[in-house]
Amino acid sequence: SAYNIVVQNICSELYLYDIKQDLALAHARDLEDMSAIHSSYTRIIHATNLEQLASCDIIILAFRKENLKELSSRLVELQNNITELKDIVLSLKHANFKGKYIVATNPNDTITYYTQILSSLPKNHVFGSGTNLDSSRLKKILAKDLDLNPKDITAYMIGEHGDSQFAALSTASVLGQNLLTFCDKMGKKLDIENIEKAVVNEGYFIYKR
């Protein structure tokens, strides 16, 4: 996310904060090196405390307390991330942060909800990434099954970002054609249940590596 923000000149200033100060500083310097290559105008700042972020327009929450190799569900992540969330959001609230949050931390829907409650900000100031990444994974898997480019496919995972999400394949399309109609014409049969499981399990696979 930070890389894309810098390359695309999305903002004039980008603050990087991490409880591991050396890690945040290393990322900031790495982005500074890269920004010169891409002629970026974004000023990159290593924040040493949360109060420095209070004047930001947008804060992206993308943290996890620890790496759980035996992660079995999103709720396990909640137990590990909720304390960190409280520390961050309440500190920023005390510092009078009035901007917007974009939440990438898991379990995404629950963390997004608690971010809004803890911050006391309006609901339209707190956004979760939801099933956006899952929808991208769905397109990738469908593209492999159909031997197509993911850009040729429009398809979405909907519901909670977690085990209960599902593919809205009845509204999916391939090159403007209904996906299921396209598969019938091509003599292709999709294993929808396994496709949905593959999307859900992809996150766990990546997380545990």
Mind listing the pLDDT tens digit for each residue in 60-81? 999 987 665 566 666 788 888 9
5 and 32, same domain (yes or no): yes
Catalytic: 27?
no
120 and 143, same domain (yes or no): no
HEC string for 93-162 = HHCCCCCEEEECCCCHHHHHHHHHHHHCCCHHHEEECCCHHHHHHHHHHHHHHHCCCHHHEECCEECCCC
Tell me the whole-structure pTM to 2 decimals: 0.88
The pLDDT, as a whole number, for residue 83 is 93
85 and 136, same domain (yes or no): no
Residues of the chain with pLDDT under 70: 66-74, 209
Specify the pairing of strand 58-61 against strand 100-103.
Answer: parallel
Domain encompassing residue 27:
1-48
3-state secondary structure (DSSP) of residue 45: strand
5 and 36, same domain (yes or no): yes
204 and 137, same domain (yes or no): yes
Measured CA to CA, the distance from residue 119 to residue 91 in angstroms comes to: 9
3-state secondary structure (DSSP) of residue 177: strand
